[in-house]
Amino acid sequence: GAVVSQHPSWVICKSGTSVKIECRSLDFQATTMFWYRQFPKQSLMLMATSNEGSKATYEQGVEKDKFLINHASLTLSTLTVTSAHPEDSSFYICSAPGVTANYGYTFGSGTRLTVV
Amino acid sequence: SQQGEEDPQALSIQEGENATMNCSYKTSINNLQWYRQNSGRGLVHLILIRSNEREKHSGRLRVTLDTSKKSSSLLITASRAADTASYFCASNTGNQFYFGTGTSLTVIP
């Protein structure tokens, strides 16, 4: 079945640095990738939708200059958290639509970001 | 916010009992999906029900959908300790995909 590989699984970085998270669709082409953020014991909040070859669409309240999304190919989408701050510490998850209309979305395994 | 609501927020049952979780959403949907998340992990797709379907089964899972009430329920029968996880509904409008607030299920062996 469809697999989305997300890396890294976890990362610790210092305040002010940037962190890149990658999501790759391994056996299918993902023209669209959704990026979510999840705080502890809370639901997933959609941050942005990336589309291959075009600009990402950001949800209201999400700073596009802080969360840079690039979808340069049909199999790779990246999220870069720029100038990270402790409040950016969260669980970030990507997902891509399934290969058929009856198949649910395929999620990456998530990235636990801790900014110290 | 387009986020849906789920109840209960937390549910604790004995192994072998049934678990029912409810989900409400806000806009018209193409389909509604249920996902499971183990602590600190990604989401796993459980079942998808289309807007023209009212009930669907998959193994020990039974999902209902009432589009007039914009609500859905997930029933897990004969629960097992391994079912302990958080469960999320997700409403798919075609262009967007919104998650409910989640139900944390604990199955006590």
Closest Cα in chain B, distance from residue A102 (Å): 7
What is the rounded distance in angstroms from the CA atom of residue B22 to the CA atom of residue B5?
8
Closest Cα in chain A, distance from residue B77 (Å): 22
- Is A95 part of the contact surface with chain B (CB cutoff 8 Å)? yes
Determine the residue of chain A that is closest to B102 in CA distance. Answer: A43
DSSP secondary structure of B62-93: EEEEETTTTEEEEEE-S--GGG-EEEEEEEE-
Closest Cα in chain A, distance from residue B100 (Å): 7
pLDDT string in tens for chain B (109-residue length): 566 788 899 999 999 999 999 999 988 898 999 999 998 788 888 999 999 999 999 999 999 999 999 999 999 999 999 999 999 999 888 767 788 889 999 999 9
A53-96 pLDDT, tens digit per residue, is 888 999 999 999 999 999 989 899 999 999 999 999 999 999 98
Determine the residue of chain A that is closest to B85 in CA distance. Answer: A41
Residue linked to tokens 């989408």: A77
The candidate with the shortest Cα–Cα distance to A28, out of A93, A103, A111, is A103
